Amino acid sequence: MGPRFFVGGNFKMNGTQAFLKNLIDSLNASQLDRDAEVVIAPPSLYLDQCRKQANKEIGVAAQNAFNASSGAFTGEISPEQLKDLGIEWVILGHSERREIFKESDELIALKVAFALKTGIKVIACIGEKLEERESGKTFEVVTRQLQAIAKQINDWTNVVIAYEPVWAIGTGKVATPKQAQEIHEYIRKWLKENVSEATAENTRIIYGGSVNASNATELAKQHDINGFLVGGASLKPEFVNIVNARI
């Protein structure tokens, strides 16, 4: 059977109360693949609204969290506060956090460890930029990002790894199924050799790089792709088709 298929919808800094209500009403009413785990990630100020409205089968994730329980960290939210709202997941290490907000591998790894310790499950994002791919450094970059997390955690049970080629996020470019499978296979091999065989077999490795309804089916057929982290398409009706890509 393999790991359970996982589809995350990262809404990023998009949506209003009214827009998200309509979006979740539509999701609630849709026939979603029962064998797929679906998690949506609205902007933080709408987390409570979305958690209360979404069917219990639909998970809700924050798009970021800090590595402290509370304190003088203006603008941040803590994993404890997420738990208080009934939020089960958090996305950490997204390329936009790395690139725009200059979060280091080390900070992201500390955030991952703290969230897990608090009881929040993590979608941990890794991936290379265009110049890194073109210079043949993809494996080097992915390894460095994985190593940082592995230094901070021993148990990967509640971690989903999202491979996101930065050059394919919001650009309309998509890694071919072969390119995506190659990196996913490498990540699984790295987990086997550096963590454990059981971790490699059970950890879900999902693809996030301009996934849409037209490419999801072919990507989902790849042996080591266990789902998707969807950006812009998660705000559209086609998100349902992506969730149902294996049906």
What amino acid positions are annotated as catalytic residues?
Answer: 94, 164
Q: Which residues on neighbouring strands pair with residue 153, listed in sequence order?
A: none
- The one-letter code for the residue type at 192 is K
Measure the CA angle with vertex 170, ends 175 and 95; round to 5°. 85
Q: What are phi and psi of 114, to 5 degrees?
A: -70, -40
Contact 195, 152 (CB under 8 A): no
Token pair for 172: 């309309």
Token pair for 183: 């990196």
Q: Where are the beta strands (DSSP E) in the chain?
A: 5-10, 36-41, 58-62, 89-92, 121-126, 159-163, 204-207, 227-230
- Position of tokens 């009214």? 18
- Position of tokens 């069917």? 55
Contact 184, 146 (CB under 8 A): no
Contacts of 134 (CB under 8 A, 6+ apart): none
At 127 the three-state DSSP class reads coil
Contact 191, 143 (CB under 8 A): no
